[in-house]
Amino acid sequence: MPEPLPTSGLLTSVREQIEANDMVAPNERWLLAVSGGMDSMAMLHALIMLKEHSGLPADLHVAHLNHQLRAEESEQDAEFVRLAAETLKTPISVETKDIESIAKKDGKSLETCARDERYHFLVKTAKEFHCHKIVTAHNADDQTETILYRILRGTGLRGLSGIPAKRRSSQEDDCQIELIRPLLTTSRETIEQFVQMHQISFRNDSSNEETTFTRNRIRHSLLPLIKEQFNPNIFSAIQQLGNIAQWQNELLHSDIHQLINDVIITKTSYRIELSCDLLRKTALIQQAELLHEALKIIQQPLQHIGYKQIKTLLDLVNEPNVTKIIQLPDSLQAEFKNDILSLNNRSLAPTILSQPFNIAININGTTDLSSTNIHLWTNHHLNQARSIEINEISGNQASFNVFLKTKNRLEEWIDADSISGPLLLRSFHEGDRFSPLGLQGDKKLGDHFTDCKWPNTSRHHAGLLCDNNGIIAILGDRISNHVKIRTDTSKVYSIKVHSD
């Protein structure tokens, strides 16, 4: 039987936070972000105590990133954390990065670069050691400072919600890793009492006193001033504001995932198209949240997308029939045309997009298309072709009628005797004409794309299957009248396209 848990306001607060937010499941491994400072050392000792005395069902692994920002002090921090983990019989991973050089190279502030590099290090280490959760030592005072910092910058409802108790890691990382903050409702005063009571050693980060950092000025200058001259309960007041904003934010987001599916016309990993008509049928605050959700889908960084940028997009969304292209921060481009808003994260757009293709296609075999960027516009959804399989089979009108009952848009039968010469898969040429199945005569391929609402940026990446006489099929879209199955058909080419 484990010994009784020592009496402590911090331990009670941490345990309640873990239970209230369902932070732990049996047989988990937690990666603890430990800087060596008072908060993270208190967290390390508290979680070990909870594991030993309350049966916290999680193995613990310590992680420390040496930022090299304070010369010898940074080295001493790393060694201090390493020795502490060894003393506590807890495995540890330590990594060193030259944050100043990386920040200069990437054009980031030291604060932003340190945060980004620390996050990537934690996610990478969590993956390496099969950790289910990343645990940070953010506390209630951090929450207050964060909300006030965001207010000063002109935040919205999402920003007022402050630091979440738990969240999934971002899209570009493993979505199964969760970030949790078990000290988020614990005050710095309670942490200090716990450290003193248990005589826990920690390192003082001298950079925390530097007033060149905005957060430090809020902590050391602004909050004490407000507390002394305006509201002695400013910490609880701001935390209350954060709680209320979080409740409202949860209500707002309860139907956002359904709404975003309704307004999306098409999407890829770097581009998304939204119906302005359907966006306008929602409230302005929902429109703003839908835009944020769309930007997350295309992995657009949001650091420089604030009220001004979102308000610009909202004004154009609510101006019917506008045609305009605007450039936004971080290579984000927005295009309004035909009552459709297209958001394009150009930093992720493959360079192959502008390159024409011309590929010989095997008959009675499979042709690999994975190294190309051939788009499939199927049922108003955009996918990428991975391979095309064409086989000669015996077939006639009767067997074709059976095939029609089960076929999808990525499967086609064509009359093999109607084919002239070898098969070629190529990209769109200006002036191309096509005779779509069911239409008498032919039409400009560009007009066909417009009629079928092909995304503008995907038209030059449509896969056009051709023989010596011209286009016989658009992959995932339509075959030509010239190769349709007829009553006298006896030999068939079966076409199957495989997509992502």
Predicted confidence (pLDDT) per residue in 329-385, tens digit: 877 889 999 999 999 987 666 544 446 889 999 999 999 988 788 888 876 667 788
Given the structure tokens 């309860």, which residue do they identify? 254
Kindly report the pTM of this predicted structure: 0.65
Dist CA 460 CA 416 (whole Å): 27
Dist CA 151 CA 158 (whole Å): 11
Q: What's the pLDDT tens digit per position in 141-166?
A: 999 999 999 999 888 888 899 999 99
Task: Tell me, yes or no, whether 399 and 471 share the same domain.
Answer: yes
Q: What is the pLDDT of residue 131?
A: 94
Dist CA 227 CA 42 (whole Å): 26
Q: What is the pLDDT of residue 397?
A: 82
Write b or e for each residue in 247-285: b if 16 or more Cβ atoms lie within 10 A of its Cβ, otherwise e. Answer: eebeebeeeeeebbeebbbbbbebbbbbbbeebbebeee
CATH of the domain at 138: 3.40.50.620
Q: Which helix (H) or strand (E) element contains residue 168?
A: strand 166-168
Q: What is the mean pLDDT of residues 479-484?
A: 92
Q: Is residue 253 part of a domain?
A: no
Q: What is the pLDDT of residue 255?
A: 87
Task: Tell me, yes or no, whether 303 and 192 share the same domain.
Answer: no
Task: Tell me, yes or no, whether 314 and 400 share the same domain.
Answer: no
Q: Is residue 444 part of a domain?
A: yes
Q: Domain of 148? A: 9-248
Task: Tell me, yes or no, whether 104 and 172 share the same domain.
Answer: yes
Task: Give me the phi and psi of 280, to 5 degrees please.
Answer: -65, -15
Nearest to 67 by CA among 26, 29, 111: 111
* Residue 404 in this model has a pLDDT that exceeds 70: yes
Task: Tell me, yes or no, whether 225 and 287 share the same domain.
Answer: no
Q: Is residue 137 part of a domain?
A: yes
Q: Which helix (H) or strand (E) element contains residue 32?
A: strand 28-33
Q: What is the pLDDT of residue 7?
A: 66
Q: 75-79, 317-321, 399-403: lowest mean pLDDT where? A: 399-403
pLDDT band at 1 (very low <50, low <70, confident <90, very high): very low
Mean pLDDT (the chain) is 89
Last residue in a domain, options 184, 217, 248? 248
With beta carbons less than 8 A apart as the criterion, state whether 332 and 303 touch.
Answer: no
Q: What is the pLDDT of residue 171?
A: 44
Q: What is the pLDDT of residue 288?
A: 94
Last residue in a domain, options 192, 214, 248? 248
DSSP 21: T
Task: Tell me, yes or no, whether 96 and 170 share the same domain.
Answer: yes
Q: Is residue 3 part of a domain?
A: no
* Residue 4 in this model has a pLDDT that exceeds 70: no
DSSP 352: G
Dist CA 179 CA 163 (whole Å): 11
Q: What's the pLDDT tens digit per position in 25-48?
A: 988 999 999 999 999 999 999 999
Per this entry, what is the length of the chain? 500
Q: Is residue 4 part of a domain?
A: no
Q: What is the pLDDT of residue 115?
A: 87
Q: Is residue 384 part of a domain?
A: yes
Task: Tell me, yes or no, whether 321 and 236 share the same domain.
Answer: no
Task: Tell me, yes or no, whether 118 and 220 share the same domain.
Answer: yes
Q: Is residue 2 part of a domain?
A: no
pLDDT band at 500 (very low <50, low <70, confident <90, very high): low
| Position 309, amino acid | Q
Q: Counting beta carbons within 10 angstroms of the beta carbon of residue 129, is it exposed (0 to 12), middle (13 to 18) or buried (19 or more)? A: middle
| Position 54, amino acid | S
Task: Tell me, yes or no, whether 294 and 234 share the same domain.
Answer: no
Task: Give me the phi and psi of 197, to 5 degrees please.
Answer: -60, -40
Q: What share of the chain is helix, strand, coil (3-state, %, to 5)?
A: 40, 25, 35
| Position 320, amino acid | P
Task: Tell me, yes or no, whether 232 and 264 share the same domain.
Answer: no
pLDDT band at 278 (very low <50, low <70, confident <90, very high): very high
Last residue in a domain, options 345, 380, 415? 345
Q: Is residue 27 part of a domain?
A: yes
CATH of the domain at 446: 3.50.40.10
Task: Tell me, yes or no, whether 303 and 223 share the same domain.
Answer: no
CATH of the domain at 262: 3.30.465.60
Domain count, the chain: 3
Higher pLDDT, 18 or 258: 18
The percentage of the chain sitting over the pLDDT mark of 70, rounded to a whole number, equals 94
Task: Tell me, yes or no, whether 431 and 284 share the same domain.
Answer: no
With beta carbons less than 8 A apart as the criterion, state whether 155 and 52 touch.
Answer: no
The alpha carbon dihedral of 455, 460, 466, 469 has a sign of: positive
Q: Which helix (H) or strand (E) element contains residue 19?
A: helix 9-20
